[in-house]
Amino acid sequence: MRQAGENVDGKIQKALWVIQEHAETLEADLQRYYGLNLATLFVPGSGLTWRRLLVLIDHLPPEAALITAIRNDTPDQVLARNATDPTKGNWSNLENLVATAIDEIRNSQWMYASAHSERTVRRPQPIPRPGIKPVTRRTMPIEDARKIDPRLRGIPDDQVQDMLDRLTGGAR
């Protein structure tokens, strides 16, 4: 068991890597969120130690410039593995919430336009999210629609397709 104050292998190396790879974003975040200057790390008695620097880095919010820069440098394969955890995604929680809000507003506008229009209104596409493949809409083949709903059996194909498009918000 380690004693208090003992060096933990790799922590200073982690801090050095962050400083080497993302010095400007780290400096900006330290100033923005904590009112600290990164240069004081190297001033004896300043109170900014390697340990404190790592604690501050580890507790930066997801939308911090440093966290965003590290996420943006993360390979797509790692993003795909971490897709279920929003804190490890390529966007911050705030960015995901804004994109979701925009999608919902667009869907509401589409529903209103669809209800008040005689023409088919194309359903809006959601804002693409990094690390998440877009959902492709599958349309039901006309033959399958006729199997499900026998009322469609005597109607020409183009009219059945128009009905399916109106129901799903899609277009041919």
| Chain centroid, CA 120 distance in Å | 31
Q: What is the DSSP string of 103-172?
A: HHHHHHHHHHHHHT-SSPPPPPPPPP-TTSPPPPPPPPPHHHHHHH-GGGTTS-HHHHHHHHHHHHT---
Which pLDDT does position 147 carry in this prediction? 86
Global confidence as pTM = 0.49
Please write the tens of the pLDDT for every residue from 104-152.
999 999 999 989 988 888 889 898 876 666 666 666 788 888 888 888 8
* Amino acid symbol at 47: G
Comparing 167 with 35, the larger pLDDT belongs to 35
Of 47, 97, 87, the closest CA to residue 67 belongs to 87
DSSP 8-class letter at 37: -
Please write the tens of the pLDDT for every residue from 13-63.
888 888 888 999 999 999 999 999 988 887 888 888 888 899 999 889 888
Which pLDDT does position 159 carry in this prediction? 87
**CA–CA–CA angle 9, 14, 19 (5° rounding):** 145
Residue 161 above 80 pLDDT? Answer: yes
Please write the tens of the pLDDT for every residue from 89-103.
567 778 888 999 999
In 74-133, alpha helices (H)? 76-81, 93-115
Which pLDDT does position 84 carry in this prediction? 57
Query: Per-domain residue ranges for the chain?
Result: 11-73, 79-133, 137-172
* pLDDT category of residue 8 using cuts at 50, 70 and 90: very low
Contact by Cβ (8 Å): 71, 89: yes
Which pLDDT does position 110 carry in this prediction? 92
Contact by Cβ (8 Å): 19, 42: no
Q: Which two tokens stand for residue 56?
A: 């501050």
Residue 2 above 80 pLDDT? Answer: no
